[in-house]
Structure 1
Amino acid sequence: MDRESVVKKVEDMLVAGEITPWKAEAAAADHGIPAPENITVGVEARRRFVEHKTGHSFHHLVMPDKPYHVAFRCPRDNTLWTLAAEDTDQHCSLCGSELSMLPEEERYKPLVNSYIGGVEDYCSYSGQVSVCGDVEKTFQILLCWGPGVGHMGIGAGCYKLNKYGPVEVCVSDWGRACRNLSFVFDTEEQREKARFLIQDNLDSIISQITQKHLSDWNGEIEYVDFLYKQHHRDRILHCCFYSRFDNHRGHGQTSHAVGMAKLIIDDLFRSNNIPCRLSVVGMGRDGDLKPSPRNRRGRYVSAQQAIPVAEYEKILGRSIRDFFSYIHLDYQGVTEETGWPAYTGMGGEIIPAFYRTMRCNPRPYLVSSYQKVYARIEGNDLVFGVELPNVEVGITSSPEGIIPPASREILKMWGIGTAKEFAAAVAAITLGGEFNFATRHVQEKMYTGK
């Protein structure tokens, strides 16, 4: 068979479900394509398969001419080097010696497992996941992961969970942002007068800042709260504005809006002869804590699946009690070591990989990486779930944050069109990864050293 015929044959095998997507390179080799060309053929077939699954074509997520890496060894210090085939610098970065290629049977591998495109951030295809509840959709999983097989674990976990139906997701309608103002007074009487003055003028303040900074983004002030604190003789009044948005992150717009509110309030204090010694944006009180259970920003999302206990015990090959022992010892360990149940299991890698792929606003993914795993028995079922209480995302490419063309293309291929769907998708794949991770640990099939 000629090269194009093999590409078409492997694509047809993928569409028919005869092989898994990450075995396309091996299938190309089985049809007579030698290394490393079998890798190129396998990637091309997999890209066509993804286009078939998603109904969208690749335009911006490009594939290099040589979508594989080459293994080398430094003849001087014996270090191993793995370089992209298109890397022209084939010298040891430690000593400067020219590198020597490994034997041909050890030399070539795909840039990452199940690679589909990308020249620096390498993107993989990891199957699909179906969800129901607040979002009803089947997402195609495209991720910039890394050299490991974590994204394949996500795909395996999602596949196993969907055997019992779509994953149930619960997603907030709004993404929230907040910004806190802090005022320092010398007396409690001054502070009391200041609070009542702000409250009396709050409707006018909210109307002005919404028209100026929030309405163009379909944002609004949801509520404002007040808090009294004191440090020695400083009588502190905190005034926190909470906003909400449907598809924008709203962080910058909220900051500008509350900055305007501060100017209005300062003028009110002056015109009403209320001496305020310090008027500032007090960010420590507005939940801008990353990650933290006190972070009051973002959008809540959870994902869970019910699995018959009897069936799951057969999969585990042991009692459900052992599964819960693993969940509790893992939860205890993470909580004691970090102070909160963040970055449990796979979540600390899955969530950053998702944000790195989408390049939405915010680019720093840490703000959304607070995650909790939970498990319980309901009747005859094991309910396994994850909660992500602070998913921040602006889904539109706008002055709030530009989304590069390749990432916009990936969002379409996922089937993500709203911030709510974004949150549902990240929760679903986090659940899939955590479920696969926990199951394989309890089965004692992780890191076996084989």
Structure 2
Amino acid sequence: MSNFDFDLFVIGAGSGGVRASRVAASHGARVAVAEEYRVGGTCVIRGCVPKKLLVYGAHFAEDLKDARHFGWDVPDCKFDWDRLRDNVLAEVTRLEGLYGQTLENHKVTLFKTRATLIGPQKVRLADGQEISAERILIATGGWPFVPEFPGSEHAITSNEVFHLDKLPKRVVIAGGGYIANEFAGIFNEFGSKVTIVNRGDTILRGYDEQIRDRLLQISMTKGIEFRFNAPFESIEKKEDGSLTVHLGNCDPIDADIVLVAAGRVPNTKGLGLEDAGVELDKDGAIQVDETNQSSVPSIYAVGDVTNRIQLTPVAIREGQAFADSVFGGKPTVVDYANVPSAVFSHPPIGAVGMTEAEARNKLGTVRVYTSDFRAMKNVLAGRNERALYKMIVNEATDQVVGLHMIGPDAPEILQAAAVAVKAGLTKADFDATVALHPSMAEELVLLK
């Protein structure tokens, strides 16, 4: 028998921690998990799941208008924020229960409290209880970053946005990344006046330039305003509860809420990592090797807390690889090449592989194919919004090294296409595939 209380103790019951826990338990390990908030982590509780449900709700604003062009006598409709908010939160609670049930079914012990490290193989719970484990996995995820400036305490983050008492009439969003653009689209469709404020001069850094420029163009057409090169100076709260945002290089903006979406940082503060000898990088992320092992042999980490690729499916892959490698006798290393991603903006973006700029810098000579078109549905609805598909091909090998799309259902289409890019298929392979007509996806095999 082991001298430890558990074979594995996991701190954090998010996507990566839950996957690692149940897989390790299925391999016969004695596993415990500590979660100080709610089982499910950022994605399920206050991230991609509730946000995607809000995106679905926002899409009805345009769908109801478009329906009239398709013969439906749709009256003017009123949006009820309270009803959507409560339905979304109820779904989150349902999913939280399922995650807890998964742990219970795999005989994983769940401690609903905070845990901190007090040594390489020991943790302390908030009630003072000390527990030993042969191995410890840190899966505490990330946390919204809020820069410090006068009045920053009046801003909210993506953690609080799902719980708003009422729909704000005026929203200022700080940041230019995927979270900022997604919530800009959501609130704009709900009827709020939205302004994105960015201290830099571009949105969606890391995405293909043509795709992000198209989103900017469409967003402005929809009524979303942008302020670039405008750093926050202060937020002033007035007697009526409204806010005035003071910016550099820009006039002040009045708002009902200010949502800070300036990125996320690894959630490592106060965990006792330094005292246990775990090395962190300059951003506070746990430094791990390809096996997810930290500088302390008994301590591992997966997910956003390692700040590699901050995506839920990546955290799940890392949790699976850790459990299979350490407890299942199946050494597994996660391949981070060609990881697909999406921005659930209005319209959404899907991307996999290299951007045009990255491909030219790395490969030298590339071929670029684009299709700039109006979806059939938009044509009949009288909507001028255009989709853009872009394929990047290595000139030397004919291999497709990047796909970038903006338009209706782009992420749904991109997932299948990402398989082809991951498999290293060529432009000729795409050309040899018969088109599925009429569909938007067929543009991918008709690019000339």
Q: TM-score with structure 1 length normalisation?
A: 0.22
Give the number of the structure whose residues are more often helix, by fraction: 1
Q: TM-score with structure 2 length normalisation?
A: 0.22
If you compute each CA radius of gyration, which structure gives the higher value, 1 or 2? 1
